């Protein structure tokens, strides 16, 4: 994969292909194993979002020109299907409801639901600020949306608001724990916040980055979450601090504890390989 400026990226379901959205007016598909470019899809403006269907046959894109496009990856030379309706740049677009619908968020302060077959708008959610992130959790039947300082959880079937709470700073991204234990969020103040899922109470906050944080995501097992920042780093954090997990083993120094001790070292929540 060449050195380029990518706005967003995603993997397909089996992690064999990657797609990137870029400021050079292209969406590209890559071999995720070799890094080879498989195809380049030219757009009319900056591309901000890409998403594969579960069967890997189609790629959804959205960007600065306010248009959603659906590409047939088996016929990349064919013209894409286009859906118009947003009045400002599209920031995020994803496949929804078993790929039968599309959900898109734009700078026009709306999230819109579209029918894939008719390509018509089904429902619109209006917000007081531009939506900064969306996380769709099909298994948990939940949709997590952030805008301004607000973190909001919606029922994914009805798109009705379940609960919302305010953060102390503008939030760029949030992620729901797979078991709905907590929500992590991060934004412009360089900090990460952890909230109780049920009460919305702030459990803790901590600063590890040296720039605004633009993305946070839990691992599928909920043991870790990752954060990506303008400081150029990707950091991994433990959900349960001090727990032995994967390649990381938290133990007291050898001189302070016997070999058979099961006492864990009280490490910083940030995990470093």
Write the CB contacts of 77 (distance below 8 Å, at least 6 apart in sequence): none
The two structure tokens encoding residue 268: 């910083």
**Residues spanned by CATH 2.130.10.10 within the chain?**
1-126, 128-237
pLDDT at 238: 86
pLDDT at 15: 87
Q: Please give the CATH architecture assigned to the domain spanning 1-126.
A: 7 Propeller (2.130)
| Fold (topology level) of 128-237 | Methylamine Dehydrogenase; Chain H (2.130.10)
pLDDT digits (tens), the chain, 273 positions: 444 555 578 888 888 999 999 889 999 999 999 999 999 999 999 999 999 999 999 999 999 999 999 999 999 999 999 999 999 999 999 999 999 999 999 999 999 999 999 999 999 999 999 999 999 987 768 999 999 999 999 999 999 999 999 999 999 999 999 989 999 999 999 999 999 999 999 999 988 899 999 999 998 888 999 999 888 888 888 888 777 777 656 554 444 333 332 333 333 444 444
Write the CB contacts of 171 (distance below 8 Å, at least 6 apart in sequence): 132, 133, 146, 148, 149, 150, 151, 185, 186, 187
pLDDT at 264: 35
pLDDT at 261: 29
pLDDT at 190: 94
pLDDT at 5: 54
CA-closest candidate to residue 45, choices 26, 28, 32: 26
The model's pTM is: 0.82
- CB–CB of 185/192 below 8 Å? yes
């Amino acid at each position: 994969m060449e050195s380029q400026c990518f706005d967003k990226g995603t993997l397909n379901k089996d992690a064999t292909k990657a797609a990137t959205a870029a400021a050079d007016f292209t969406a590209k598909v890559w071999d995720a194993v070799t890094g080879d470019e498989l195809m380049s899809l030219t757009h009319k403006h900056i591309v901000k979002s890409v998403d594969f269907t579960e069967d890997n046959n189609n790629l959804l894109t959205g960007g600065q020109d306010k248009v959603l496009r659906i590409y047939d990856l088996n016929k990349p030379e064919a013209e894409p299907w286009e859906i118009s309706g947003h009045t400002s740049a599209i920031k995020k677009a994803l496949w929804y409801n078993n790929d039968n619908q599309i959900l898109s968020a734009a700078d026009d302060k709306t999230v819109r639901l579209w029918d894939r077959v008719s390509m018509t708008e089904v429902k619109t959610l209006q917000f007081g600020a531009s939506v900064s992130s969306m996380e769709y959790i099909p298994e948990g039947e939940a949709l997590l949306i952030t805008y301004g300082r607000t973190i909001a959880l919606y029922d994914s079937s009805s798109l009705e608001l379940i609960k919302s709470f305010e953060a102390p700073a503008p939030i760029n991204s949030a992620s729901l724990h797979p078991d709905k234990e907590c929500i992590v969020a991060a934004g412009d103040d360089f900090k990460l916040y952890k909230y109780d899922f049920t009460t919305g109470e702030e459990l803790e906050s901590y600063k590890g980055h040296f720039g605004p944080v633009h993305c946070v995501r839990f691992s599928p097992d909920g043991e870790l979450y990752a954060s990506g920042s303008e400081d150029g780093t990707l950091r991994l954090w433990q959900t349960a601090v001090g727990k032995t997990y994967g390649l990381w083993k938290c133990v007291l120094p050898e001189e302070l504890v016997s070999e058979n001790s099961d006492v864990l070292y009280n490490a910083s929540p940030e995990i470093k390989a």
